[in-house]
Structure 1
Amino acid sequence: MAKNGLGRVPAIPMSARHMSYWDMFATWVGANANNGTWYIGGVIAACGFLTASTTLIVTGIISYLLLAAASYMGYKTGLTAMTLTRASFGLRGSLLPSVINLVQFIGWAAVNTFIAATSMSYLFHDLFGWPVYGKPGGTMGLAVGIIVMSIFHL
């Protein structure tokens, strides 16, 4: 294992990597351009076209610059994002960001699945006449939507 000042963490050498910087950047951008983001965008749209557009453009630029920086750091060092937190927090201190990251990933996947499954209940209503989620009997469409979206997420 290469000693890199962040504990004894194996850095992946360039010769063993199969993804480019662009691949890593596209992965993270794709992970953040999803139905949860679209839902939040729809909520922000209630602020009016100019306010919503300005907000989305400014926050989008800031978010994607941070994603680009994080993906570049991982690409250059061959280390994971949570391993990189060791430089700031130390070996034991990096456990907290790691646990927060784990909970956030589980929660974000759950939120995205729920939002997509709710949307699918409306599709099932139009296609099969099933009640939409939130109406009596609408739980079936939600459950089927959760199963379908969970398969898509995998």
Structure 2
Amino acid sequence: MKTSFFKKTVACLLFSLIFSCNNDSETIENQIILGTWHVVAIHSSSPTGLTLGPNTEEVISIIFPRNGEFMGTTSVNSFGGRSSSTENMLFIEEMVTTEVADTSFGQAFYDAFNESINSETGFSEFEIAVQDEDELNLEHNGFKFLTLQRQ
């Protein structure tokens, strides 16, 4: 009788332990990307080539919460979608946006997302290059990148 009770207790504990573990596949693995960021520069040609910055009082803001989504605004548009990341990569899996004609800085921002699409996955793919705890570069196509500052 004691053995049967013991086996049932152990089985219940194991069952509880297995199903209480959090295996949330949408959790962003790279914690550095979480939070609110402003795009402060867009390097769109080569390391020594053209760099675009925002016009006076122009802000492109991106928020990466913990739920695998992202959202943000340019001067005239809103955008959002689903994302995931690894230790050094950011994947924009889905992006929707309003479509009002944007500033040249805003258009360059959207161009970076279009240029970084992997033809096999359909995702925009960026390598995350951390400059310091409040600044990172999202690199694509070998030498193009967006510089983001934490807010």
Q: TM-score scaled by structure 1? A: 0.23
Point out the structure with the larger strand share: 2
Between structure 1 and structure 2, the one with the greater Rg is 2
Point out the structure with the larger helix share: 1
